Amino acid sequence: MTDAIFEIDSRSPVMIQGITGRMGRRHAAHMRAYGTNIVGGTSARPDEAALLDMQVFRTCREVVSATGAWASVAMVPPMEVLAAASEAIDAGVRLVVTVAEGVPVHDALRLKAKARAERAVWLGASTPGMALPGVAKLGFLPDVALQAGSWALLTKSGTLSYEVGYRMKARGLGQSIWIGVGGDVVKGVRFADLVAPLARHAPTQGVILVGEVGGTEEEQFADMVRASALKKPVLALLAGRESKEGVSMGHAGAMTDGTMGTLRSKIDSLRAAGAEVFESIEALIDRAAELSDTSGQRHAPLSVRGA
């Protein structure tokens, strides 16, 4: 179900919903400058299209008909995400990325069900997006942290993941793909959903997972790794090491449920699946560098420690 994420390339036609808004204009330009094939978008004010040198229509169906767009980035407010993403899916869009914070949980539940029923991929509710470094990006992952390489970077936290990506690049490491799943309690794509396609993804020689305390996503990822054919090394970093039990903090996706969702539970689950878990970005990057050939040439598949 997540294969559309891995099919994005520099030729893939991408639309921006809300393209004439302030954020839509800004990030459409950034994505296009990076190499993404932004073919147009939707707006309630299509007469402003001349400002963008792009095709702008009132509906997704018109964009799809005119451009063949099969991926969309929705730059709309949180209360409009359900309607915007649903419209895109109804128009035949296979991959929808939503970036707004604060999408209502009931809206997210409805959108998740719709995407599944229509066999579309929804990346969100709130996510910085995804990128194939050096090829294309959908969302607002920072260019300064993007570099082509062999590590798949899977992230919840935006800011922490930017730092990890930046330090990878500084060490000559790079990403085969970067997927921000976001930290919402209800989301379209979870870490566990990405295990099977990553096992098949030839450019990916290892996985770096940036998670956090709360939720059960890391444990579910670990369960899927144990049950899958993923024989690539997994390095993990978990935010929230200093958080105190019983203290409310973070976002809705960072809740614990009994012993699940705790730092200890996540570490134990990941290690039982063969992953290495680190206490700092520096230690994680050092280990990734040890496992990688940083000469700039493609290296042989990395081996899991102890395999």
* Closest-CA residue to 154 (of 6, 256, 255): 6
Q: pLDDT digits over 177-189, tens only?
A: 999 999 999 999 9
Tens-place pLDDT, residues 218-244: 999 999 999 998 999 999 999 876 555
Structure confidence at residue 48 as a pLDDT band (50, 70, 90): low
Res 214: pLDDT: 86
Mean pLDDT value of segment 209-217: 93
pLDDT band at 157 (very low <50, low <70, confident <90, very high): confident
Is the pLDDT confidence value at 303 over 50? no
Q: Say whether pLDDT at 250 is over 70.
A: no
Residues of the chain with CATH 3.40.50.720: 3-123
Whether pLDDT at 149 is above 50: yes
Which residues carry out catalysis?
A: 251
How far, in Å, CA of 156 to CA of 81, rounded?
19
- The superfamily (CATH) of domain 142-291 is Succinyl-CoA synthetase domains (3.40.50.261)
Average pLDDT over residues 133-162: 96
pLDDT at 305: 38
Radius of gyration for the chain, computed over Cα atoms and rounded to the nearest angstrom: 19
Where in the chain do CATH 3.40.50.261 domains reside?
142-291
Q: What 3-state DSSP class applies to 169?
A: helix
Output the average pLDDT for the chain: 90
The answer to whether the predicted template modeling score (pTM) of the entire model surpasses 0.95 is no
More confident residue, 297 or 106: 106
pLDDT in tens, 84-103: 999 999 999 999 999 999 99
Q: What is the CATH number of domain 3-123?
A: 3.40.50.720
Other Cβ atoms less than 10 A from the Cβ of 110: the count is 15
* Closest CA relative to residue 179, chosen from 127, 115, 224: 127
- d(CA 18, CA 20) in angstroms, rounded, equals 6
pLDDT for 134 equals 97
Instruction: Give the strand order in the sheet containing 175-180.
Output: 136-139, 129-132, 175-180, 148-155, 206-212, 234-239, 276-278
